[in-house]
A and B are shown apart, each in its own frame.
Chain A
Amino acid sequence: MSAILPPSERLWWKTPISSQEWAWIGIAFVWAMIMFVMMVYWHINGKQNLSNEVYKTTTEMFTAKTEAFVKENTIRTETEQNIPVVKPNANGEAFLLARLWAWYPILELEAGKTYKIHLSAVDYNHGFSLQPTNINIQVIPGYEHVVKMTPTKAGTYAIVCNEYCGIGHHTMLGRIYVK
């Protein structure tokens, strides 16, 4: 008569299901469908969807592209390490490279403009975690991910690395200015 014994009804699959169970199964099913529709709906009407634009790349290729971008658009350098601050064209392209243990370069963007930011890592996995707005994207070596971002508010933002990448992981802090 219990769950640790064979079903007492030999033909248990013929026993009807009670209405309360049917009701719950129905409700749970409808809820699952609503959750499905929400994701699709957001792709059509939502303003936060992760881009599908991805290219295979290599350490050399991505480093070269980033260097070219930095060379062309640097407006000043900051900190003792002279990290370049780079201002891409409004609504233009930008590159952000993750490596042990830095986000390179610093970007300066304008609120309300949309940028195509090329993200990749050149050694290990890293995690793009934009704070305090809290957007988190996995950054994987060998993949160049082109993410369109539209900053909403002016301020100084931090890029925390939130994928473990070795002993200096906690020092891997980058910066984005939004003017």
Chain B
Amino acid sequence: MATTYRTCPRTGLQFDLDADKLMRWNAVAGVLWLLVGGITALLVILTRWPAIKLLPADQFYLILTAHGIDMLILWILFFEMAVLYFASSTLLRCRIATPKVAWLGFWLMVVGGIMTNVAIFQGSSSVMFTSYVPMQAAPHFYLGIILVAVGALLGTGVFFGTLVVAKKDKTYTGSLPLVTFGAMTAAIIAVFTIASGAAILIPTFAWSMGWIKEIDAQLYRMVWWALGHSSQQVNVAAHVSIWYLVAAVAFGAKPLSEKVSRFAFLLYILFLQLASAHHLLSDPGMSAEWKVLNTSYFMYFAVLASMIHGFTVPGAIEAAQRKKGFNNGLFEWLRKAPWGNPVFSGMFISLVGFGFIGGISGVVLGTEQINMLMHNTFYVPGHFHATVVVGTTLAFMSITYLLVPTLFKREMIFPKLCQIQPYLYGLSMIVLSLVMMGAGTLGVSRRHWDMAFSGAPFQYEWPGAAYLMMGLTGIFGVIAVVGGALWILLVVGSLLFGKKLDGGATHDKPVPIPDQSAAAAASHTGSEEHVKVPGTVVLAITLLTCFVLYYFVNWKYLSEVWGLS
């Protein structure tokens, strides 16, 4: 197949031009959805801010449905397609398999995304992105999501095809790079996710057309969360891969141990998708044994995997920095890190925010009995804004600062603003998550238009602290929207007006990755010398301490509520 390659003169990355274009289009489509999602975020936050309460109830639920779909599904999935093509074709320096299929997938996703949004904005599909039956949306709401899923499935197929191409064309020797391995993990889980999605959304579509009479409401929730939760595992695998990627690019960091990091990714495949049970902990239809088994045996192995990555990513950075001579004390390596480089600062805030806030709150929320304290409260969106926004979205944002010059061949405009953007967005989002969790701990509901319950037959007055938390949610939410808007402006501005950069010479044949093992064998003798990473150990122990304290504090809270048996 005829294609051309170019080698970026700044990074040395080699792009197949077919893949190059696919990545650019997918990334741009993702950014456009983020823009729509960001506008809806502003409307949502201004409505939940009790002092403002911008939208009427019907519009609020409509906009919130759009926010969930456009952010969680469309922004993330389009960007992930770009990540998959990058991790396969670019990192393995080979041509992309069947670019035509990849384009078909792209257009299916575009059509599907627009279709679902049309359904939402027509007003008859304000069912939230979870669309629990028997509440019914218009048929094209479901059909659109199905098309998006099929498109994404084609994209993962192209990813696997590209791995085969690289192997066949021998563009690399030995094993896959760790980042590609991580992306492969994401792709494998994505296949499972999409299969579950088909299993639930196709019948639901048929039901909305009147072809099926009824779908069991509990069964729906179970199968839907096999889609809804595993898609989050795709995100985690994708953003952890990006953490490793940034550590490699910004520091030349090498994984502390290939074996440990790959094993941790493998655990995601083996166990994470089953953690969908933790969305059903306060449901009637499953037994306690089923809940405990699924949240412990299965989920904790996945948590173990995340804890491992949470150690090995900063550990790899510390080791690389120490080798460069930043050896003083526990944290010189961290102090001397390139904090002014948004690729690094964004990635590091993503790592810390995901671990400390998203990770800890997620495990606590996922404990069978403790779940009853928080199920469906504002705590839940608080938790997942720390995972899917601080973790995934911020990681995607930070890698974009690298992609604009190398993939889009443009210099970023306003470098000073680029420097502050990850702090503005990441830190405000961390505070937003915390105050949302605070409000949830006091009982405030998620997806709820009016905490004053206007029109209800009774009164219930939330504690003053709950209003305070919701007010802070409003303030930090608006700051976060500003941070997100700044990113979109910087990226789109750079694509349109940034200084054009040299794309590098083109050539017809891929240049394979030189075989490393020969050089490596010469430089050391098999058993790798281990660099000590005491700073990372301290960070990890701090995380664990917070984790343990917070975990038991919640058991204490639980012991104080009404007896339940």
- A interface residues with partner B (beta carbon < 8 Å): 1-10, 12-21, 24-25, 27-29, 31-33, 35-36, 38-40, 42-43, 46-52, 54, 79-81, 83, 102, 114, 119, 123-125, 127, 129-145, 147-152, 158, 160-175
Closest chain B residue to A143, Cβ basis:
B284
A46-B562 contact in complex given A5-B516, A12-B175, A13-B259, C-beta closer than 8 Å: no
Q: With A and B bound together, what is the CA distance between A136 and B55 in angstroms? A: 27
Does chain A have a CB within 8 A of B417?
Answer: no
Closest chain B residue to A150, Cβ basis:
B563
Which A residues are CB-close (under 8 A) to B363?
35
Does chain A have a CB within 8 A of B172?
Answer: yes
Which B residues are CB-close (under 8 A) to A39?
292, 295-296, 367-369
Contacting pair B377 A136 (CB below 8 A) = yes
Most buried by B among A16, A21, A158: A21
Which B residues are CB-close (under 8 A) to A142?
216-218
Contacting pair A136 B375 (CB below 8 A) = yes
Does chain A have a CB within 8 A of B269?
Answer: no
A41 to chain B minimum Cβ distance, whole angstroms, is 10
Which A residues are CB-close (under 8 A) to B2?
none
Contacting pair B292 A40 (CB below 8 A) = yes
Q: Which of B174, B245, B311, B565 contacts A51 (CB 8 A)?
A: B565
Which A residues are CB-close (under 8 A) to B367?
35, 38-39
Contacting pair A50 B248 (CB below 8 A) = no
Contacting pair A173 B458 (CB below 8 A) = yes
A16 to chain B minimum Cβ distance, whole angstroms, is 6
Contacting pair A24 B135 (CB below 8 A) = no
Question: Contact residue range for chain B?
Answer: 35 or more
A3-B248 contact in complex given A21-B311, A52-B288, A158-B460, C-beta closer than 8 Å: yes
Which B residues are CB-close (under 8 A) to A131?
443, 460, 462
Q: With A and B bound together, what is the CA distance between A88 and B53 in angstroms? A: 40
9 closest A-B pairs by CB: A150-B563, A145-B284, A158-B460, A162-B445, A8-B520, A32-B300, A18-B530, A36-B296, A2-B248
Does chain A have a CB within 8 A of B513?
Answer: yes
Contacting pair B135 A1 (CB below 8 A) = no
A21 to chain B minimum Cβ distance, whole angstroms, is 5
Which A residues are CB-close (under 8 A) to B460?
131, 158, 160, 173
A55 to chain B minimum Cβ distance, whole angstroms, is 9
Q: What 15 new A-B contacts, CB under 8 Å, besides A170-B454, A174-B458? A: A9-B258, A15-B526, A18-B530, A24-B311, A32-B303, A54-B284, A81-B457, A127-B375, A129-B445, A134-B561, A136-B373, A152-B561, A160-B453, A164-B61, A169-B61
Q: With A and B bound together, what is the CA distance between A61 and B79 in angstroms? A: 49
Contacting pair B540 A24 (CB below 8 A) = yes
Q: With A and B bound together, what is the CA distance between A172 and B425 in angstroms? A: 35
Contacting pair B308 A25 (CB below 8 A) = yes
Closest chain A residue to B449, Cβ basis:
A170
Task: Determine, out of B15-23, B139-147, B329-337, B551-559, the stretch whose residues face the partner at the interface.
Answer: B551-559
Closest chain A residue to B243, Cβ basis:
A3
Contacting pair A171 B454 (CB below 8 A) = yes
Does chain A have a CB within 8 A of B177?
Answer: yes
Most buried by B among A20, A150, A164: A164
Q: Which of B134, B216, B369 contacts A50 (CB 8 A)?
A: B369
Contacting pair A50 B288 (CB below 8 A) = yes
Contacting pair B307 A28 (CB below 8 A) = yes
Q: With A and B bound together, what is the CA distance between A102 and B456 in angstroms? A: 9
Contacting pair B561 A49 (CB below 8 A) = no
Which B residues are CB-close (under 8 A) to A175?
458
Contacting pair A170 B455 (CB below 8 A) = yes
Q: With A and B bound together, what is the CA distance between A81 and B458 in angstroms? A: 11
Does chain A have a CB within 8 A of B407?
Answer: no
Contacting pair A167 B61 (CB below 8 A) = yes
Contacting pair B517 A3 (CB below 8 A) = no
Which B residues are CB-close (under 8 A) to A42?
368-369, 555
Contacting pair B300 A124 (CB below 8 A) = no
Contacting pair B449 A140 (CB below 8 A) = no
Q: With A and B bound together, what is the CA distance between A139 and B179 in angstroms? A: 43
Which B residues are CB-close (under 8 A) to A15?
257-259, 526-528
Most buried by A among B533, B555, B565: B565
A170 to chain B minimum Cβ distance, whole angstroms, is 4
Q: Which of A10, A27, A141 contacts B217 (CB 8 A)?
A: A141
Does chain A have a CB within 8 A of B29?
Answer: no
Contacting pair B443 A6 (CB below 8 A) = no
A1-B254 contact in complex given A12-B175, A140-B217, C-beta closer than 8 Å: yes
B49 to chain A minimum Cβ distance, whole angstroms, is 15
Q: List 21 A-B contacts (CB under 8 A).
A: A3-B178, A6-B172, A7-B177, A9-B520, A10-B517, A17-B260, A24-B311, A24-B537, A43-B292, A81-B457, A127-B375, A127-B376, A130-B562, A131-B443, A133-B562, A136-B371, A143-B218, A148-B565, A149-B562, A168-B455, A170-B450
